[in-house]
């Protein structure tokens, strides 16, 4: 049975899932959902789950810890930690069947900071949100859409070397890269002029992870 679209204002949890295990989990507030395109937002102070290697890298500015996280993923030996989203408001758009989601980062006052294209497996709807898996590769774009740069290509290469990303998925990512760049160049899809769609959402109560996610993840404080 196909999950119904989520109501505006409700909470939807985006999870990265590997072999039935949670890799990340973050609650969002739904802004709009037509059954194909799901638009959500997250604000500073939102509590999420992430690999302990990643949270350590963020707290200690430790690049090596991020790389160890890929080794842990390949070995199936990661642990989860709690993490508070900080500093920015993000408006995120997920499109069914697509290998990337698009995010606009804003300051808490609404100043545009950057666009971000996150390459990931096409999402699958669940009773509480969507499940996907981050493929490490990212495209970072300036607020005016005038220039861009690729991010974490080294992590993507490492994930390929370790077999986390197989050849078939790599071929799909290569095609998705072309689609994302074409949309950016043509100002179509998520990059089409639509100021209201990407504006600072009104403030509201922060979404929270369901107890079922916290208990299943066996999360710990780092």
Task: Assess if residue 3 is contained within a domain.
Answer: no
Q: How many domains does the chain have?
A: 1
Residue pLDDT, tens place only, 82-117: 999 999 999 999 999 999 999 999 999 999 999 999
Identify the pLDDT of residue 217. 62
Q: Cα dist. 209→8, 24, 74, 89 in Å?
A: 17, 11, 26, 18
Residue pLDDT, tens place only, 174-206: 999 999 999 999 999 999 998 888 999 998 999
Give the number of other CB atoms < 10 A from CB of residue 96.
14
Least confident of 36-45, 66-75, 133-142, 208-217: 208-217
Per-residue confidence band for 2, with pLDDT thresholds at 50, 70 and 90: low
CATH number, domain of 115, equals 2.40.380.10
Distance of alpha carbon 41 from alpha carbon 12, whole angstroms: 10
Task: Assess if residue 108 is contained within a domain.
Answer: yes
Task: Assess if residue 54 is contained within a domain.
Answer: yes
Task: Assess if residue 136 is contained within a domain.
Answer: yes
Domain enclosing residue 151, as ranges: 11-217
Task: Assess if residue 4 is contained within a domain.
Answer: no
Identify the pLDDT of residue 62. 74
Task: Assess if residue 116 is contained within a domain.
Answer: yes
Look at residues 168, 115, 169, 101 and name the one whose alpha carbon lies nearest to residue 143: 115
Retrieve residue 104's tokens: 């606009």
């Amino acid at each position: 049975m196909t999950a119904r679209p989520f109501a505006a204002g409700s909470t939807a949890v985006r999870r990265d899932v590997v072999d039935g295990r949670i890799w990340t989990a973050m609650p969002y507030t739904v802004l709009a959902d037509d059954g194909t395109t799901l638009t959500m937002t997250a604000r500073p102070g939102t509590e999420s789950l992430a690999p302990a290697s990643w949270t350590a890298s963020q707290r200690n500015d430790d690049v090596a810890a991020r790389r160890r996280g890929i080794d842990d993923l390949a070995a199936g030996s990661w642990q989860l930690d709690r993490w508070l989203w900080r500093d920015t408001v993000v408006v995120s758009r997920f499109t069914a069947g697509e290998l990337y989601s698009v995010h606009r980062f804003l300051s808490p006052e609404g100043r545009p900071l950057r666009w971000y294209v996150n390459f990931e497996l096409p999402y699958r709807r669940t009773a509480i949100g969507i499940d996907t898996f981050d493929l490490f590769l990212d495209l970072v774009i300036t607020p005016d859409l005038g220039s861009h740069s690729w991010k974490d290509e080294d992590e993507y290469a490492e994930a390929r070397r370790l077999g986390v990303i197989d050849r078939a998925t790599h071929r799909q990512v290569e095609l998705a890269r072309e689609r994302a760049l074409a949309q950016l160049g043509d100002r179509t899809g998520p990059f089409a002029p639509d100021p209201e769609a990407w504006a600072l959402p009104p403030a509201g109560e922060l979404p929270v992870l369901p107890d079922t996610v916290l208990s299943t993840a066996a999360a710990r404080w780092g």
